[in-house]
Amino acid sequence: MALTPQDVARLADLARIELSDQELARLAPQMDEILESMTNLAQAIDDDVPPMSHAAPLVNVFRDDQVRPSFSSATVLAGAPAVEDGQFRVPRILDEEA
Amino acid sequence: MSVYVNDDLMDYDEAMARFDVVIGLEVHVELNTASKMWCGCTTEFGGEPNSHTCPICLGLPGSLPVVNAKAIESAIRIGLSLGCEIAQWCRFARKNYFYPDMPRDYQVSQSDEPLCFDGEVTVEVDGEEHLIPVERVHMEEDAGKTTHIGGSGRIHGAGYSLVDYNRSGVPLMEIVTRPIYGTGTKGPEVARTYLAYLREMMRALGVSEARMERGNMRCDANVSLMPKGSTELGTRTETKNVNSLKSVEAALRYEIRRQAAVLAAGGRVRQETRMWNEGGFTTAGRSKEHAEDYRYFPEPDLVPVAPSREWVEELRATLPEPPAARRARLQAAWGFTELEMRDINGVEGALELIAETIEAGAPASAARKWWVSDLARRANEAGVALDEVGMSPGQVAALQALVDSGALTDKLARQVIDGVLAGEGEPADVVAARGLAVVSDDSALSAAVDVAIEANPGIAQKIRDGKVQAAGALIGAVMKAMAGQADAARVRELILEKLG
Amino acid sequence: MSSTINQSAAELARRIAAREQSSEEITRAHLDRIEQVDADVHAFLAVDAERALKQARAVDAKVAAGEKLGPLAGVPIAVKDTYCYQGLPTTAASRILEGWLPPYDSTVVSRLLAADMIILGKTNLDEFAMGSSTESSAFGPTRNPWDLERIPGGSGGGSAACLAAFEAPLALGSDTGGSIRQPAAVTGTVGIKPTYGGVSRFGLIALASSLDQPGPCARNVLDAALLHEVIGGFDPADSTSINEPLPDLVGAARKADIKGLRIGVVHELGGEGYAPGVEQRFAEAIEILSGLGAEIIEVGCPHFEYSLAAYYLIMTAEASSNLSRYDGMRYGLRVGDDGSATTEEVMRLTRAAGLGDEAKRRIMLGTYALSAGYYDAFYGSAQKMRTLIARDFASAFEKCDLLISPTTPTTAFKLGERLSDPMAMYKCDLCTMPASLAGISAASLPIGLSPADGLPVGLQVMAPAMADERCYLLGGALEAALNDRWGASLLDRIPEVGRPAGSQETSR
Ligand SMILES: [Mg+2]
Ligand SMILES: [Zn+2]
B368 and B415 part of one domain: yes
Is residue A40 a part of any domain in this protein?
A: yes
Alpha-carbon torsion B267, B272, B277, B283, what sign?
A: negative
C395 touches chain B (CB under 8 A): no
Write the residue in B42, B50, B149 that is nearest to A86 by C-beta.
B50
C374 touches chain B (CB under 8 A): no
pLDDT at C499: 57
Q: Show me where the domains of chain C are located.
A: 9-305+386-503
Percent of chain C exceeding pLDDT 90 equals 93
How many structural domains are present in chain A? 1
Amino acid at B389: V
Contact indicator for A39, C373 with CB cutoff of 8 Å: no
Nearest CA in chain B to A52: B298
Nearest CA in chain C to B100: C329
Q: Are strands B67-68 and A62-63 parallel, antiparallel or unpaired?
A: parallel
Lowest mean pLDDT among A45-54, B113-122, C454-463: A45-54
Using CB atoms and an 8 Å cut-off, which of residues 320-339 of chain C contact chain B?
Answer: 320-321, 324-325, 327, 329-331, 339
What is the C-alpha separation between C468 and C242, in angstroms, rounded? 13
pLDDT at B469: 84
Is residue A84 a part of any domain in this protein?
A: no
* Beta carbons within 8 Å of B122's beta carbon, 6+ residues apart: B129, B130, B131, B132, B324
Is residue B448 a part of any domain in this protein?
A: yes
At residue C194, the 3 state secondary structure works out as coil
The span from the first CA to the last CA of chain B, in angstroms, equals 78
Write the residue in A70, A90, A96 that is nearest to B52 by C-beta.
A70
Q: Does the pLDDT value for residue B38 go beyond 90?
A: yes
DSSP assigned state of C390:
H
The average confidence (pLDDT) of chain B is: 91
- Name chain A contacts of B302, Cβ cutoff 8 Å: 61
Is residue B5 a part of any domain in this protein?
A: no
- Name chain A contacts of B240, Cβ cutoff 8 Å: 96, 98
The ligand placed nearest to the CA atom of residue B97 is 1
Is residue B4 a part of any domain in this protein?
A: no
Contact indicator for B103, B58 with CB cutoff of 8 Å: yes
CATH code of A37's domain? 1.10.20
Write the residue in B72, B285, B295 that is nearest to A96 by C-beta.
B285
B287 and B374 part of one domain: no
Is residue A15 a part of any domain in this protein?
A: yes
Q: Does the pLDDT value for residue C505 go beyond 80?
A: no
Cα–Cα distances in Å, from C459 out to C8, C261, C495? 21, 17, 22
B347 and B458 part of one domain: no
pLDDT tier for residue B339 given thresholds of 50, 70 and 90: confident
Is residue B1 a part of any domain in this protein?
A: no
B202 and B265 part of one domain: yes
pLDDT at C144: 98
Backbone angles phi and psi of C88, in degrees to 5? -125, 140
Is residue B318 a part of any domain in this protein?
A: no
Q: Does the pLDDT value for residue C354 go beyond 50?
A: yes
pLDDT at A97: 40
Amino acid at C434: P
What is the C-alpha separation between B202 and B30, in angstroms, rounded? 10
What is the C-alpha separation between B177 and B163, in angstroms, rounded? 32
The ligand placed nearest to the CA atom of residue B63 is 2
pLDDT tier for residue B231 given thresholds of 50, 70 and 90: confident
Q: Which domain holds residue A39?
A: 5-44
Chains that touch B (3 or more CB pairs under 8 A): A, C
- Residue C213's nearest CA partner among C76, C141, C107, C361 is C107
Mean pLDDT within C372-397: 95
Mean pLDDT within B61-85: 98
pLDDT tier for residue B127 given thresholds of 50, 70 and 90: confident
B469 and B385 part of one domain: no
Rounded to the nearest angstrom, the distance between the alpha carbon of B81 and the centre of ligand 1 is 20
Amino acid at C52: A
Using CB atoms and an 8 Å cut-off, which of residues 23-42 of chain A contact chain B?
Answer: none
B91 touches chain A (CB under 8 A): yes
Neighbours of C411 (CB within 10 A): 25
pLDDT at C508: 36
pLDDT at B314: 98
B107 and B204 part of one domain: yes
Percent of chain A exceeding pLDDT 70 equals 95
Backbone angles phi and psi of B378, in degrees to 5? -60, -40
Q: Are strands C262-266 and C402-406 parallel, antiparallel or unpaired?
A: parallel
Q: Does the pLDDT value for residue B23 go beyond 90?
A: yes
Write the residue in A61, A96, A98 that is nearest to B67 by C-beta.
A61
B306 and B327 part of one domain: no
Please tell me the distance in Å from B171's CA to the nearest CA on chain C. Answer: 17
pLDDT tier for residue B411 given thresholds of 50, 70 and 90: confident
Report the catalytic residues of C: 80, 155, 179
The ligand placed nearest to the CA atom of residue C103 is 2
What is the C-alpha separation between C183 and C449, in angstroms, rounded? 15
What is the C-alpha separation between C406 and C428, in angstroms, rounded? 11
Q: Do A90 and B54 make contact, defined as CB atoms within 8 angstroms?
A: no
pLDDT tier for residue B48 given thresholds of 50, 70 and 90: very high
pLDDT at B287: 67
What is the C-alpha separation between B9 and B442, in angstroms, rounded? 68
- Name chain A contacts of B304, Cβ cutoff 8 Å: 54, 58-60
Q: Which domain holds residue B161?
A: 12-312
* Beta carbons within 8 Å of B114's beta carbon, 6+ residues apart: B87, B90, B136, B137, B138
Of B283, B312, B341, the one marking the end of a domain is B312
Alpha-carbon torsion A22, A25, A31, A34, what sign?
A: negative
Q: Does the pLDDT value for residue B482 go beyond 70?
A: yes
Here the contacts of B198-204 (C-beta below 8 Å, separation 24 or greater) are B198/B27, B198/B29, B199/B245, B200/B323, B200/B351, B200/B352, B201/B78, B201/B81, B201/B82, B201/B323, B202/B29, B202/B78, B203/B352, B204/B320, B204/B321, B204/B323, B204/B326
B132 and B178 part of one domain: yes
Cα–Cα distances in Å, from B161 out to A78, B150, B367, B483, C27? 18, 8, 48, 59, 48
What is the C-alpha separation between A12 and A9, in angstroms, rounded? 5
B35 touches chain A (CB under 8 A): yes
DSSP string for residues in C325-364: G-SSSSSS------SSSBHHHHHHHHHHHHS-HHHHHHHH
Q: Does the pLDDT value for residue C172 go beyond 90?
A: yes
What is the C-alpha separation between C312 and C366, in angstroms, rounded? 8
C337 touches chain A (CB under 8 A): yes
Q: Does the pLDDT value for residue C507 go beyond 90?
A: no
B200 and B164 part of one domain: yes
Widest Cα–Cα separation across chain B:
97
- B338-345 helix and B350-359 helix, angle to the nearest 10 degrees: 110
The model's pLDDT over C446-500, given as tens digits with 9 standing for 90+, comes to: 999 999 999 999 999 999 999 999 999 999 999 999 999 999 999 999 999 865 5
Does C23 sit behind a cis peptide bond, omega within 30 degrees of 0 on the bond before it? Answer: no
What is the C-alpha separation between C21 and C122, in angstroms, rounded? 25
Please tell me the distance in Å from B165's CA to the nearest CA on chain A. Answer: 8
pLDDT tier for residue C124 given thresholds of 50, 70 and 90: very high
Mean pLDDT within B269-298: 85
CATH superfamily label, C9-305+386-503? Amidase signature (AS) domain (3.90.1300.10)
The model's pLDDT over B151-174, given as tens digits with 9 standing for 90+, comes to: 766 666 668 999 999 999 999 999
Half-sphere exposure of C331 (CA within 13 A, CB side): 24
Please state the separation of Cα C252 from the chain's center in Å.
Answer: 21
Amino acid at A98: A
pLDDT at B15: 96
Contact indicator for B418, B425 with CB cutoff of 8 Å: no
Q: Does the pLDDT value for residue A80 go beyond 50?
A: yes
- Residue C472's nearest CA partner among C461, C482, C464, C481 is C461
Is residue A18 a part of any domain in this protein?
A: yes
**ipTM attached to this prediction:** 0.96
What is the C-alpha separation between C429 and B105, in angstroms, rounded? 30
Please tell me the distance in Å from B321's CA to the nearest CA on chain A. Answer: 25
B101 and B248 part of one domain: yes
- Residue B475's nearest CA partner among B427, B409, B396, B403 is B409
CATH code of B488's domain? 1.10.10
Write the residue in B59, B62, B300 that is nearest to C210 by C-beta.
B300
Q: Do A18 and C380 make contact, defined as CB atoms within 8 angstroms?
A: no
Is residue B155 a part of any domain in this protein?
A: yes
Mean pLDDT within C369-375: 92
Strand partners, C299: C266
Q: Do A59 and B39 make contact, defined as CB atoms within 8 angstroms?
A: no
Please tell me the distance in Å from A46's CA to the nearest CA on chain C. Answer: 9
- Residue C455's nearest CA partner among C485, C409, C494, C425 is C494
Instruction: Show the DSSP H helices in B242-348 as ranges.
Output: 245-264, 309-316, 323-334, 338-345
- Name chain C contacts of B302, Cβ cutoff 8 Å: 239
How many structural domains are present in chain B? 3
Mutate to test the interface with B, among A71, A77, A84 (most CBs of B within 10 A): A71
